Structure 1
Amino acid sequence: MSVRKRPTPRKDGTFPWVVDYVDVAGKRRLKTFDKKKDADAFAARSSVEVSDGVHVADSASITIEEAGKNWIATCKANGLERTSIEPYETHLKLHIVPLIGKALVSRMSVPSIRDFEDKLRAKGLSQAMIRRVVGSVGALIGDAQERGQAMHNPVREMRGRRKGKERRLEQRHKGKLKVGVDIPTRDEAKAFLGALQGRWRPLLMTALFCGLRSSELRGLAWADIDLERRELHVRQRADRFNDIGSPKSAAGDRTVPIPAMLANTLKEWKLACPKSELGLAFPNGTGKPEAHANIINRGLVPAMIAAGVTVEGMKRGKPAVVARYSGLHSLRHWFASWCINPVSRGGMGLSPQEVQDRVGHSSISTTLDVYGHLFPVDDTTAAVDAAERSLLS
């Protein structure tokens, strides 16, 4: 590998510097630089990369836009669900291609990714969305690496340094789930239960007493409900395209016990339930998976308002009484808190591992991150007093 000044000048009279080297495939390459220090830096870096067998010349690389198309093709070939692929395609169309689509994958660096983040921020994207879009860039560069079109992944290098700090900042921003704010109180849950009527009663009771996700409720089949043994098996879910597929993760495939009142309600509902070729427990009028928006707008919110579980808010630009909890996940949070609370407080007093199994979290750390502060602890005041007495005795 050599660095030399080109003998013939450019039109402006300057003499560029050339790095002459042989790549990992044994092909001779020439790369031109305006300044000798840049040529020297490239030569030093490329020498190591060629030696390690990871060097990719710019002429052998592709653009970010081309890498994005290859990445989406890989996602589809691997059987990734449409609900996962669609956001990736949106990231490419709206943000990645317009801003860095023409850049070569081989020339992407940590500074260029930081510059990309700044541009996304200037467009008004939230920090969470920026993180997702940059994550898509990292994934497409990773796919290009596997195809031999990139030598390193600056997104993963940057994320490796940031990961702990970002997680701490995210947790600090989110704060802990609060009863009465994120999780219905015991009295609110009782009032909500009493207000449930019609076709929404069995569905929302199942959400309340079994903690299923919206997609799991929408995909729940009668074949997976054992009313005699009072067990509900989560084996499938319906995505927002109404495609039936496997649970969110391996841990999502689980068995949840059914309380007696819910079992009786489901027995009555089974007689009135619309026929469904898919055998769904909560289909719409045509037998297809019920729309998530309908569950919220026609079931959850009206029941919350009827139960008096409300706050002052805005509706169509005017002050109005609105549901305190307008997301179906609030019922899942309540179910988790019900599992955690001791029997003396109307709960089941389950261990963290048992709660993880009931809600279908993929790891115990997720359960503890989200609900750890809800688990009862010993009387800390008494413990401190006992420690003080022991110290001073």
Structure 2
Amino acid sequence: MGRDGRGVRAVSDSSIEITFMYRGVRCRERLSLKPTATNLKLAERHKAAIEHAIAAGTFDYAITFPRSPRAVQFAPESSRETVAGFLTRWLAGKQKHVSNSTYEGYRKIVELRLVPALGHAMVVDLKRKAVRDWLATLQVSNKTLRNIQSCLRSALNDAVDEELVEVNPLAGWTYTRKDQVKEDDVDPFSPEEQRAILASIDGQARNLVQFALWTGMRTSELVALDWGDIDWLKGEAYVSRAMTQAAGGKAEVTKTVAGKRSIKLLMPALAALTAQKAHTFHAGNEVFQNPRTGERWAGDQPIRKTMWVHAMKKARVRYRRPYQTRHTYASMMLSSGEHPMWVAKQMGHSDWTMIARVYGRWMPTADLDAGNRAEAMWEPPEV
């Protein structure tokens, strides 16, 4: 059967082949049906339905024959877009809608990670397994893995919106690996080290370091601080911006709600600000400047190169990066018995779980009298 012009024929004991014309190409597809008389009739009706859909302009090869090699050949142009092409287009579109630092992070991930590894694949063919297998080969931290997946997941969400793919293969899934035991990054300066560092510098450099040690502000927040952010009556600094190298010298709003906060200025921090007024207050803009340029610091790298490395050597203090001033503040406050929630708020965290996890060793344990005040309120019932 099938040789009389109907385009349907048995080709094995378990399959039937149908033949039809599509876009000027003679197509042959197999159906997994035993070539019984009944099934051959079904195949004829299926072929007729295909030809009707072709005539109506509604035929979708990939839906009808998803495993056929011709599905790719006849796929719409948009669905044949490579991951590299799509991500390049997606990245260009993102530039106007995200901060400079976020865009720069996306750009590095796309150009240095995603395109070299996955760029050759078609967007429609990208599967979770391929992403997982590639991620498993990377010798990076879980944080970097999360950043890579966050970027790709965001791009694929847009691919769904553009109807390039029906489902985001990364939706509801994140690849992680068990972190290797690594050296603790929290390495605060002791009081003696702090005094030695401050004694090794003067002027604006000393004011900046002292203020950093006694506010716990991130370096990116310190360099974005303006005099208009200081409330002298309340003794507070309002933090709402940060400036990173990736931002290209532009201050950006903080990324989290908790990051936008008012910091109580303790006496050493206020003293540093008072001393700094002689240098930059009258200009009314940035609080801290690079003494060599007379302009706002561009980020932590110029701070390291201009004064930090030299100060550490002169003070004969074991080298740690400037960010350790933030860890120093947290450890000082917690060791002094300040409430972890207050410390978390000062440092721009939404809750104190991270404070407890990272700085737990500096949190005093309950003393021997803990609970006595509550116990004194209890009155035993009369017998």
Same fold, judged at TM 0.5 (above): yes
Q: Distance in 2 between matches of 1:65 and 1:105?
A: 9
Alpha-carbon deviation of 1:16? 4.8
Q: Is the 8 A contact 1:67 1:143 kept in 2?
A: no
Q: Is the 8 A contact 1:135 1:155 kept in 2?
A: no
1:330-371 CA-to-partner distances (Å, cap 9, x unmatched) read 000011111211xxxxx2x22221111000024433333322
Cα 1:15–1:243 change in 2 (3 A) is same
1:196 correspondence with 2:204: no
Identity of aligned residues (%): 24
Q: How much is the aligned-residue C-alpha RMSD, in angstroms?
A: 3.6
1:201-221 CA-to-partner distances (Å, cap 9, x unmatched) read 111111100011111111110
Q: Is the 8 A contact 2:204 2:289 kept in 1?
A: no
Query: Residue 259 of structure 2 aligns to which amino acid in structure 1?
Result: G
Q: Distance in 1 between matches of 2:271 and 2:58?
A: 75
2:354 maps to 366
Cα 1:274–1:364 change in 2 (3 A) is closer
Q: Is the 8 A contact 1:117 1:134 kept in 2?
A: no
2:324 maps to 330
1:27 maps to 58
1:64 maps to 83
1:209 maps to 214
Q: Is the 8 A contact 1:238 1:289 kept in 2?
A: no
Q: Distance in 1 between matches of 2:192 and 2:288?
A: 27
1:218 correspondence with 2:212: no
In structure 2, which of residues 275, 278, 281 is the aligned counterpart of residue 271 of structure 1? 278
Q: Return 5+ residue gaps in structure 2 as ranges.
A: 1-14, 21-26, 33-45, 372-383
1:53 maps to none
Alpha-carbon deviation of 1:239? 2.8
Cα 1:216–1:32 change in 2 (3 A) is closer
2:307 maps to 299
Alpha-carbon deviation of 1:290? 4.1
Q: Distance in 1 between matches of 2:62 and 2:273?
A: 72
2:123 maps to 105
Cα 1:211–1:85 change in 2 (3 A) is same
1:248-302 CA-to-partner distances (Å, cap 9, x unmatched) read 32211212222323323322321123865x7000123343334422212232222
SS of 2:202's equivalent in the other structure is coil
Q: Is the 8 A contact 1:275 1:287 kept in 2?
A: no
Q: Distance in 2 between matches of 1:94 and 1:177?
A: 26
Query: Residue 375 of structure 1 aligns to which amino acid in structure 2?
Result: M
Cα 1:306–1:374 change in 2 (3 A) is same
Q: Distance in 1 between matches of 2:203 and 2:94?
A: 42
SS of 1:233's equivalent in the other structure is strand
SS of 1:148's equivalent in the other structure is coil
SS of 2:263's equivalent in the other structure is strand
1:244 correspondence with 2:251: yes
Alpha-carbon deviation of 1:18? 7.0
Alpha-carbon deviation of 1:191? 2.8
Q: Distance in 2 between matches of 1:114 and 1:265?
A: 50
1:60-98 CA-to-partner distances (Å, cap 9, x unmatched) read 5232123313432443343x1111111212222233223
Q: Which has the higher helix share?
A: 1
Cα 1:6–1:367 change in 2 (3 A) is farther
2:148 maps to 133
Query: Residue 339 of structure 1 aligns to which amino acid in structure 2?
Result: M
Q: Distance in 2 between matches of 1:177 and 1:281?
A: 29
1:289-316 CA-to-partner distances (Å, cap 9, x unmatched) read 3442221223222222222212xxxxxx
Q: Is the 8 A contact 2:334 2:343 kept in 1?
A: yes
In structure 1, which of residues 138, 146, 150 is the aligned counterpart of residue 161 of structure 2? 146
Kindly tell me the number of residue pairs found equivalent between the two proteins: 320
1:289 correspondence with 2:271: no
Q: Distance in 2 between matches of 1:133 and 1:112?
A: 14
Q: Is the 8 A contact 1:16 1:32 kept in 2?
A: no
Q: Return 5+ residue gaps in structure 1 as ranges.
A: 9-13, 44-56, 311-322, 342-346, 384-393
2:375 maps to none
Alpha-carbon deviation of 1:200? 0.3
Query: Residue 207 of structure 1 aligns to which amino acid in structure 2?
Result: A
Cα 1:16–1:99 change in 2 (3 A) is farther
Cα 1:128–1:63 change in 2 (3 A) is same
1:218-265 CA-to-partner distances (Å, cap 9, x unmatched) read 111011123454322212222321102212322112122223233233
Alpha-carbon deviation of 1:379? 6.2
In structure 2, which of residues 314, 317, 342 is the aligned counterpart of residue 309 of structure 1? 317
1:156 maps to 171
Determine which structure has more spread, i.e. the larger CA radius of gyration: 2
1:89 correspondence with 2:102: no
SS of 2:223's equivalent in the other structure is helix
In structure 2, which of residues 135, 138, 141 is the aligned counterpart of residue 117 of structure 1? 135
Q: Is the 8 A contact 2:223 2:296 kept in 1?
A: no
SS of 2:289's equivalent in the other structure is coil
SS of 1:5's equivalent in the other structure is strand
Q: Distance in 2 between matches of 1:32 and 1:145?
A: 17
Cα 1:58–1:155 change in 2 (3 A) is farther
Q: Is the 8 A contact 2:215 2:329 kept in 1?
A: yes
2:340 maps to 352
